[in-house]
Chain A
């Protein structure tokens, strides 16, 4: 064995690898990161998109907080979040960021109780459970709402998110609207100081914890509870009705006047049959795509993908219990996608979108 030759070989191989076609960026690949709330949907959409177009969209569900952060660092092509950026947050970016709505979902209250009963809960009871003031499942405030159920004398274990999360934002945004105490004590944010409970990473982690912990209660996107056969609570909305989170009650909650930039919170809806903890979920991109030496090709791929997601991609929403975008919101989405530019020129014209 000639060691000197070995070194030469290793050196040659590394030079080869760096210059080989393997390393050349062919821009047949896009990278996104963020929300776990729409992860089930995106993972299906991008699988289908790969089969249709051969473009690989690598989506990593690291939480909305992480998605926003990585977009700011410009390490991803798009971020994803179910918490829209506030005006203050938008100012922290050095360029304009666009919100493109993709789907509507619901944050559901799920729990692990013997026999998987269907609970009815009111906003104040939910707030007090997550504040740690209601400690037992047979607390009179829960049993009086569910007289037909026999609830066990069991401690309630609260499960919440440990990472920066849009799902958390939607949930605490709702609690802040319905409970003064929540608003002053805990408040809003993608991660908040939880008074009680265990933390799980991502919607996946919270679902996993609830599934494995008898007596626990947590909040996740509807599809996670459904796929794992966990029960979900009916929540009393503003009109006094107990609403089960499903496609129709989410769709009803989403049918509102949406502003031009689509940044809207639809929690605590006025609609009599709307589920009160529903939310839009967005993809976040930079308006001007020529940053950090990005190629025009990459910008084109991104615009094509987004266009596909709000049109053809929508057919994957309902089978996975995410509501489709209402027509007026699709129109707004089109307008926003058309405003994406490369060197100041609109990109959509280059990819054959009219």
Chain B
């Protein structure tokens, strides 16, 4: 009896500890959110969102160049990584036993672990040096490479989860193999693939290191993908290490926008994947 009670007490103590630790582990995120809200919200206004930076040390100005820049960089990364990622993911799911699948799965897992600054240097060597210019394109390539393994992985995993019967039924009805993939398998896994893509965007939107020597930054508004371009994380980096208080405030404001963007992507991802 006493032994039994002891076990109940032990179990209770441990579950209390676990609950406590779980709550504590949400603190860092909540604190980050609190500080960014506290310092950032007051900075954000119409001028901040719609005007360009002023010369160093002068008050006023905004971060429009960086918002547009991040949008363009993410778009380029999407164009480069999504088609390749989904196609590779399909291959890995369909031909998972082949040697090529084994090797490419391994390579993509390793690629996921490569530090982003290294990918930045690679984009510098592959794109910036041959073209001869820092450009939005090179930044997009770097971000695309970072995103690629995420898209491959999520596509592969989701396709593997789809019941075999679905595919067999389609084939049994005489639907060609490629149509089975395109019209049955992918639509069935679409929400999962979308989740992967959105997670990928959330990951790359905040990357600074791969942009330092590719996108390079630009105080002007630029839509040209062959010219240097600004980005939110780049701007936060430059402003945060500067000695100017109004630049610090702007860095907080920009962080606030970036965090909300990434947060809403994560929430959308959650909604999509729970609906499934």
Contact = CB atoms under 8 A, between A and B. Distances in A.
B139 interface: no
Interface stretch (B15-23, B108-116, B125-133, B166-174): B125-133
A58 B223 contact: no
B244 interface: yes
Query: For chain A, which range describes its interface: under 10, 10 to 19, 20 to 34, or 35 or more residues?
Result: 35 or more
A227 B228 CA distance: 28
Contacts, number: 97
Interface string A184-221: 00000000000000001110110110010000000000
Contacts of B82: 10
B243 interface: yes
Contacts of A22: 223-225
Query: For chain B, which range describes its interface: under 10, 10 to 19, 20 to 34, or 35 or more residues?
Result: 20 to 34
Interface in A107-150: none
Given A29-B227, A43-B55, A227 B83 contact: no
Nearest to A200: B241
A3 B187 contact: yes
B226 A31 contact: no
Contacts of A43: 55-56, 219
A47 B55 contact: yes
B190 interface: yes
A90 interface: no
Given A4-B182, A22-B224, A75 B132 contact: yes
A25 interface: yes
B190 A1 contact: yes
Interface in B78-133: 79, 82-83, 128-129, 132-133
Interface in B29-56: 54-56
Contacts of A24: 224
B225 to A, nearest CB: 6
Nearest to B227: A29
A92 interface: no
A31 B133 CA distance: 9
A39 interface: yes
Interface string B195-209: 000000000000000
A211 B248 CA distance: 13
A292 B132 contact: yes
Contacts of B133: 31, 75
Interface of B: 54-58, 79, 82-83, 128-129, 132-134, 182, 186-187, 190, 216-220, 222-228, 238, 241-244
27 contacts: A3-B190, A4-B182, A10-B82, A13-B79, A17-B225, A23-B224, A31-B228, A40-B55, A44-B56, A44-B58, A46-B219, A47-B55, A56-B218, A56-B222, A58-B220, A60-B217, A60-B228, A73-B129, A74-B132, A75-B129, A201-B241, A204-B242, A208-B243, A211-B243, A228-B243, A228-B244, A293-B132
